[in-house]
Amino acid sequence: MKRIFWGSLGYAAGLGTSVYVQRRVRAAVEHYTPEQIRADVQEKSRQAAGRAKDVVIDLREAAADGVATMRAREDELRREFAPDGDDTDSPGHHHRPARIRH
């Protein structure tokens, strides 16, 4: 009786393992078929393009913020160092700051 029990148990374990391995191998083969590889590459390239687009947008926004900050600071410096009565707020007006004497 013990031999039948252990023999049956071994047979069932072998059969279960065999089914498990077959399923895993089939899934791996399907995963690496040319169609799946092509789809994976296309998806990865779409994701990379999306990330690159986001980086470009972030860089443009950062540059625009930098230009706006630079212009605001330039206007502030011009008001601070402009001689009295000089109209530094007119568009296109570029005035050299007053020289500082030591």
Buried (b) or exposed (e) across 52-78, using 16+ Cβ within 10 A? eeeeeeeeeeeeeeeeeeeeeeeeeeb
Which SS3 state, helix, strand or coil, does residue 2 take? helix
DSSP string for 4-68: HHHHHHHHHHHHHHHHHHHHHHHHHHHHTSHHHHHHHHHHHHHHHHHHHHHHHHHHHHHHHHHHH
Q: Do 82 and 95 contact (CB within 8 A), yes or no?
A: yes
- What is the per-residue pLDDT for 78? 92
State residue 7's pLDDT score: 86
- Lowest-confidence range among 2-6, 14-18, 48-52, 64-68? 2-6
User: Residue 32 and residue 41: Cα distance in Å, rounded?
Assistant: 12
The pLDDT tens digits for 2-46 are 788 888 888 889 888 988 988 998 888 778 888 888 788 888 888
What pLDDT score does 61 carry?
Answer: 94
Give the pTM. Answer: 0.44
Name residue 60's amino acid: R
Answer whether residue 97 shows pLDDT above 90.
no
Mean pLDDT estimate for the chain: 82
